[in-house]
Amino acid sequence: MVITRFAPSPTGYLHIGGLRTALYSYLWARKNGGKFLLRIEDTDLKRNSIEAAKAIEEAFEWVGLEHDGEITYQSKRFDIYKSYIQKLLDEDKAYYCYMTKEELDKLRESQMKAKQRPRYDGRYRDFKGTPPEGVKPVVRIKAPTNETITFDDGIKGEISVNTDDVMDDFIIARSDGTPTYNFVVAIDDHDMSVTDIIRGDDHLSNTPKQIVIYKALGFDIPRFYHIPMILNPSGKKLSKRDGAMDVMEYKKEGYLPEALLNFLVRLGWSHGDQEIFSLQEMIELFDPKDINKSASAYNAEKLLWLNSYYIKEASYERVIKELKYFDVDLSSIDKKEILIDSLRERAKTLKEMAQKTKNILDRPKNYDEKAVKKFLKNDAKEIAEKFLIYLQEYKGKLRTPLEFEEALKDFMEKNSLKLKNIAQIIRISIVGTAVSPSIYDIMAVVGKDELITRIKNLINFMEVNNE
């Protein structure tokens, strides 16, 4: 059974790097019919842990990842950590260290002077005497000396380090009794029966220490997969400045969750040159052995491209549902399908689509200055008035884009006009600017009566404006 976990620290939101780690862990568990667990690493930041868990669950729900079972909170497991620390003390695999901060600083200073790497010198490792008074001890693990630790990372390959180079007898419990980071991670992964740890390669240097703890407690060592970071286009670590970091920001910006997941899965993993993956396909095809060995760069254009792809693919019901989030309710709009198809032709985000929908459905409150200057001159008012009368007197059916197109053609013929003489007038009357989808589509969407009103409004505006 493959058991993976996602173990975020509670920052109050789920960032996209975290979501990618979670996605890979999720896919690997699901592919193997295993379990995907969630653990909140809140030993330091207890205050925020409930909100953080909520934020993560909200983001998971939005993108459609489900974790198995209850969430594990580290802050609720202190007694368990304590008992493991006691076990190590009892077995003489850990010990109390009474070194004061001043002593530690002094040691560090002298090591620096001698150009040595600062490290604890093991002075209490075999201490049998009377402890100094008034010092609350920390607990240190007896790390193996001059021992090679080797593990086969699922992405990086074989990693081999000498304990002398990467650790000293590191602290597993602070003087107030609280356990330290590497200790609790090792305990939790064991207690949660995690078999496969997929995490960012910024944790690579922690792994040998965690292995020391596994070994001291006789735990099975899980498989590790350290995934390269996501970099910004200039090759630096991704930061807030490079784009939204909070996953839910992407919802607010009008991205579809399947576009974001598709974007993230490809950011560091590939399957041939395939670009489009449904979640089901990802589950079938994902294998950590195909994760890139080098870091990948965040590419905002690619995300937009994927998003427009998924917007085009979505059913009408889906688009209507998604647009509700942006306060656009198309459910009772006649010709909503025409509107959706017309807008998604070019829309890159739902937010943009929602804005354009509003521009069409709501009467313009004002008219774009540049458009007015450029297109509403000379005989524009006269043409608008003629078209208004033509519409008012029109006897035929006027509902579909094609019917509007035919009517307009007929009008142009009768008045010896060309499309360029009238298209922008109609467009400005409907949306207030010189940009919109096809005028036939938007005329059909607003309908004959509303079109008449909007043309009247524009004529009024031109009258006032010309005085």
Residues engaged in binding ligand GLU (CB under 6 A): 7-9, 41, 185, 199, 203
Q: Is the dihedral of CA 219, 222, 228, 229 positive or negative?
A: negative
| Type and span of the H or E element at 373 | helix 369-375
| Cα gap 172→140, rounded to integer Å | 6
Supply the minimum distance, in Å, between the C-beta of residue 183 and ligand GLU: 12
Tokens 């998924």 -> residue: 310
Q: DSSP label at 73?
A: E
Smallest separation (angstroms) from ligand GLU to the CB of 5: 8
The beta-carbon contacts of 56-63 under 8 Å, at least 24 apart in sequence, are 56/8, 56/14, 58/248, 59/13, 59/14, 59/19, 59/247, 59/248, 60/14, 60/22, 62/247, 62/248, 62/251, 62/257, 63/19, 63/23, 63/247, 63/257, 63/260, 63/261
The helix or strand, by DSSP H or E, that contains position 358, with its residue range, turns out to be helix 350-361
Q: Count CB-CB contacts under 10 A for residue 353.
A: 24
Which value, to the nearest 10 degrees, does the dihedral of the CA atoms of residues 361, 363, 366, 370 take?
50
Give the side-chain half-sphere CA count within 13 A for 462. 24
Report in angstroms how near the CB of residue 207 gets to ligand GLU at its nearest: 9
Smallest gap, in angstroms, from Cβ of residue 180 to ligand GLU? 13
Least distance CB 206 / ligand GLU (angstroms): 7
Q: Least distance to ligand GLU from the beta carbon of 2, Å?
A: 16
Specify the residue, 184 or 306, whose C-beta has the smaller distance to ligand GLU. Answer: 184
Q: Which is nearer to ligand GLU, 52 or 279 (CB)?
A: 52
Q: What ranges in 12-116 are assigned the alpha helix state H?
A: 16-31, 49-63, 78-90, 101-113
Residue 50 or 417 having the CB closest to ligand GLU? 50
Provide, rounded to whole angstroms, the least separation between the CB of residue 431 and ligand GLU: 46
Q: Are strands 196-200 and 223-227 parallel, antiparallel or unpaired?
A: parallel
**Where in the sequence numbering do the catalytic residues fall?**
240
Q: Closest CB to ligand GLU among 41 and 242?
A: 41
| DSSP summary character for residue 290 | G
- Amino acid at residue number 438: S
* Residue in the block written with tokens 């309710």: 329
DSSP 176: T
> Least separation, in Å, of the C-beta of 45 and ligand GLU?
10
Nearer to ligand GLU, 203 or 386 (CB): 203
From the CB of residue 113, how many other CB atoms can be counted at a distance below 10 Å?
8
Alpha carbon distance 4, 195 (integer Å): 6
With CB atoms as reference, the residue minimizing the distance to ligand GLU is 199
Distance CA 81, CA 87 (A): 10
Distance of CA 195 to the CA centre of its chain: 25
Q: With respect to ligand GLU, which residue has the nearer C-beta, 9 or 457?
A: 9
Closer to ligand GLU by CB, 185 or 459: give it.
185
DSSP-derived letter for residue 210 is: H
